[in-house]
Amino acid sequence: MAFSRRNIGEEIPGKASHECRAVGALNDKTDFLHADNKKVSALEGDFGARYYGSTTGRFLSPDPSGLYYANPTNPQSLNLYTYGLNNPLVNTDPFGLDCVYFNDAGNGVESIDHHSSSGECGKTGGDWVNGTTSASQIQYDPNSDTFNIQSSSMFHSYNSTAYAPGPGGGGTDSNGNPISCSGNCDTANGYSSSFRWPSGTFQLGLSGNVNIWGRLAVTGSLGVVVDTHGKLGGYVSGGGGASAGAGGGLGVQVGASNGNGICSLGGPFGNVSATGGEGAGGTVDVFAGKGDGPGGVVAGGSVTIGLAGGASGSATVTDTKVVPFGGGKCQ
Partner 1 sequence: MPVGGGIRDSKALLKRFGVALGILGIAGLLWTFGRESYKAASFPRSPDPAVGRIFPDNVHGIVIFETRSQKRDSDYIEVASFSMLGLSLVLSLIYRKRSGAQASKSGPGNTPTI
- Cβ atoms within 10 Å, residue 117: 11
Q: Which amino acid is at 306?
A: G
Task: Candidates 17, 71, 132, 148: give the one binding partner 1 (CB under 8 A).
Answer: 148
Q: Which residues contact 184 (CB under 8 A, 6 or more apart)?
A: 193, 194, 195
Contacts by residues 165-168 (CB-CB < 8 Å, ≥ 24 positions apart):
165/190, 166/190
Strand partners, 206: 222, 252
- Cα 320 to Cα 329: distance, rounded to the nearest angstrom: 13
**59/40 Cα distance (integer angstroms):** 13
Specify the DSSP element, H or E, that contains 52: strand 51-53
> By CB under 8 A, is residue 98 in contact with partner 1?
no
3-state secondary structure of 137: helix
Query: Segment 233-272, which members bind partner 1 (CB under 8 A)?
Result: 238-242, 246, 259-261, 263-270
- Decide if residue 144 touches partner 1 (CB under 8 A): yes
CA distance 133 to 162: 15
CB of 139 to partner 1, least distance (A): 6
User: What's the min distance (Å) between Cβ of 274 and partner 1?
Assistant: 19
Q: Which stretch binds partner 1 (CB under 8 A): 98-106, 122-130, 138-146, 176-184?
A: 138-146
Query: What's the closest the beta carbon of residue 189 comes to partner 1, in angstroms?
Result: 15
Candidate list 298, 304, 308, 328; residue touching partner 1; CB under 8 A? 298
Q: Nearer to partner 1 by C-beta: 266 or 281? A: 266
User: In whole angstroms, how close is the CB of 290 to partner 1 at the nearest point?
Assistant: 4
Least Å distance, CB 124 to partner 1, is 26
**149 makes contact with partner 1 (CB under 8 A):** yes
Closer residue to partner 1, CB minimum distance, 62 or 294: 294
Output the CA angle 18-22-26, nearest 5 degrees: 120
For residues 274 and 248, give the distance between their C-alpha atoms in angstroms, rounded to a whole number: 9
Beta bridge mates, 300: 257, 287
Span 271-290, contacts to partner 1 by CB under 8 A: 289-290
For residues 258 and 201, give the distance between their C-alpha atoms in angstroms, rounded to a whole number: 6
Whether 174 contacts 133, CB under 8 Å: yes
Nearer to partner 1, 94 or 300 (CB): 300
CB-count exposure of residue 329 (10 Å: 0-12, 13-18, 19+): middle
Task: Report the distance separating Cα 67 and Cα 227, nearest Å.
Answer: 28
The residue among 84 and 309 lying less far from partner 1, judged by its C-beta, is 309
Q: Say whether residue 331 binds partner 1 (CB under 8 A).
A: yes
- CB nearer partner 1, residue 19 or residue 292: 292
44-83 mask for partner 1 (x: CB under 8 A)? ----------------------------------------
Question: Alpha-carbon distance 189 to 192, whole Å?
Answer: 9
Q: What is the DSSP letter of 38?
A: H
From the list 291, 309, 313, 328, which residue makes contact with partner 1 (rule: CB under 8 A)?
291
Q: Is residue 94 close enough to count as binding partner 1 by CB under 8 A?
A: no
- C-beta of 2 vs 218, nearer to partner 1: 218
Bridge-partner residues for 208, per DSSP? 220, 250
Residues 178-217 that bind partner 1 (CB under 8 A): 210-214, 216
Q: Which is nearer to partner 1, 42 or 212 (CB)?
A: 212
Interface positions with partner 1 (CB under 8 A)? 139, 141, 143-144, 148-151, 154, 165, 210-214, 216, 218, 238-242, 246, 259-261, 263-270, 289-293, 296, 298, 316-319, 330-331
